[in-house]
Amino acid sequence: MVRILKLAQMTAKDLATVKRRAELDIDQVIPIAQEVITAIAQTGDKGLIEYAQKFDYTGATPENIKVTPEEFEQAQHLVEPEVKKAVDQAFRNIKEVHQRQLPEEMNLAEIDKGIFTGEKITPIPKVGLYVPRGKGAFPSMMLMLTIPAMVAGVEQIVVCTPPDKQGNVEPSFPPMSAQMAGVTNVYKLGGIQALAAMALGTATVPKVDKLTGPCSIYGAAAKRVLFGTVDVGLPAGPSESIVLADETTDPQLAALDLLIEAEHGPDSAALLVTHSETVAEKASYFADQYLEKLPQWRREFCQTGLDAYGGIILTSSLEESIQFVNDYAPEHLEVLVDDPLRLVGEIKNAGEILLGKYTPSSAATYAIGVNAVLPTGGFARSYSAVSVYDFLKRSTIAYLTPQGFDRVKETSQTLAHYEEFPAHGMAITERDQLL
């Protein structure tokens, strides 16, 4: 059965392991990331293809790693009608959510007589998106990344997604989903080599200004090494979730939702946090029953992650449960309590907050439209979900009229003198004589 950990009885070491989740393992693969990135930086396509052949598929060449127009065309005809219908609805909802995020292109306001300030918003010119692959493809993840970039107006969008061992991306979903957002630069590359190619640029893969997208611990290690070379976006590593429950929570629903993120992979972290011993014990029982209904390979993912990083945390009160949630700062948070809206104000750190028994993480991942690319590893304390803002940059604007210049010149001269920047002060005093 899924383990139940009493918070009051956990050792400091046990608690630290749970809170750090799979991020604990990233340090071990940093040397591999450094090796691959250095090779690609020094030799370009030669190093890229060497590692693509080693980690992606043996037949990789500079000529065949890009998805061709023929593959895009083929993808449109391979999707079953009911799946196409589902992807269409997801596309519409995701696009609507992100279009509502768009700020005005420019604003300028008079903050004092003759002093105007504001911002100009422009899209980042080139972005690289990493769409992971497990046992299959993730069209939802392709939509979650490409749509906000498209809505933001990014000029060049480059996508990398891992191929299968024959060198093919899933024949329908990634190409179809990317093309719906107007993206045609899709490369069959995975892991460290994909991120390095986009960050550094090669003869085959364009260099970008920013990377974003969820990764395994290898991709997370690559981002850490590439930090400072390129904007690596939010830390989005192995999946994680907390289901917050009270004594009114249906333990079957809690058990079902506990397994949503657990099945992503053996390094996923899934927790049920509750102060109700009854809910904890029953949810553990039902989770065990539901595990038996999963395919063996998904069941093994769940069991490995739940044993290593997850399980059920039993607290002494709802207040202590909320404190644990805020300390943990989960990627996904489901609030399955009696009155979830009442608790929203108390949740400080979470990538997304899903309220009530009709809002499982599955619905948010696929259909609601909110972005499912979220900060992991506790970074929900300072990072936000992927949005159009990830693909926009702000330039501050200032404009002074003669009256505005008169109002700030003395302050500017005084502070320039105090900080010993004579050229700064001279630009004020001389200008006053010249104009």
Distance CA 422, CA 435 (A): 20
Q: What is the dihedral of CA 99, 124, 329, 11, to 10 degrees?
A: 160
CB 242 within 8 A of CB 268: no
Residues in the chain, pLDDT under 50: none
Place of tokens 């979220």: 374
Distance CA 423, CA 416 (A): 8
Enclosing H/E stretch for 322: helix 318-328
Q: Which of these, 172, 156, 159, lies nearest to 123 by C-alpha position?
A: 156
Q: What three-state secondary structure class fits 311? A: strand
Considering the candidates 240, 331, 334, 352, report the single residue annotated as catalytic. 331
Q: For residue 373, what pLDDT is reported?
A: 95
Distance CA 150, CA 176 (A): 15
Distance CA 382, CA 387 (A): 15
Distance CA 166, CA 39 (A): 24
Radius of gyration of the chain (CA): 25
Q: For residue 70, what pLDDT is reported?
A: 87
Q: Which of these, 237, 236, 214, lies nearest to 25 by C-alpha position?
A: 237
CA angle 335, 338, 344 (to 5 degrees): 45
Antiparallel, parallel or unpaired: β 115-123 and 126-130: unpaired
Token representation of residue 332: 């996904």
Provide the sign of the torsion angle of the four alpha carbons 132, 136, 138, 142, taken in this order.
Answer: positive
Per-residue pLDDT of 111-130, as tens digits, reads 999 999 999 999 999 999 99
Antiparallel, parallel or unpaired: β 311-314 and 185-188: unpaired
105-108 contact pairs (CB < 8 A, 24+): 106/397, 108/397, 108/399
Q: For residue 136, what pLDDT is reported?
A: 62
Q: For residue 135, what pLDDT is reported?
A: 60
CB 43 within 8 A of CB 52: no
What type of residue is 264?
Answer: H
φ and ψ of 137, to 5 deg: -100, 165
Place of tokens 């927790």: 271
CB 374 within 8 A of CB 380: yes
Enclosing H/E stretch for 109: strand 106-112
45-55 and 191-200 helices, crossing angle to 10°: 160
User: Is 63 annotated in the active site?
Assistant: no
Distance CA 375, CA 212 (A): 11
Q: Alpha carbon 187 to chain centroid distance? A: 20
CB 336 within 8 A of CB 357: yes
φ and ψ of 118, to 5 deg: 180, -160
Helix ranges (H only) for 124-208 are: 139-152, 173-180, 191-200
If one counts every other C-beta atom within 10 angstroms of the C-beta of residue 74, the result is 14
User: Is 417 annotated in the active site?
Assistant: no
Distance CA 275, CA 324 (A): 11
Q: For residue 274, what pLDDT is reported?
A: 98
Provide the sign of the torsion angle of the four alpha carbons 413, 419, 420, 423, taken in this order.
Answer: negative
Considering the candidates 98, 332, 334, 352, report the single residue annotated as catalytic. 332
Close Cβ partners of 163 (under 8 Å, ≥ 6 residues apart)? 56, 57, 133, 169, 188, 189, 190
Q: What is the dihedral of CA 383, 243, 5, 280, to 10 degrees?
A: 170
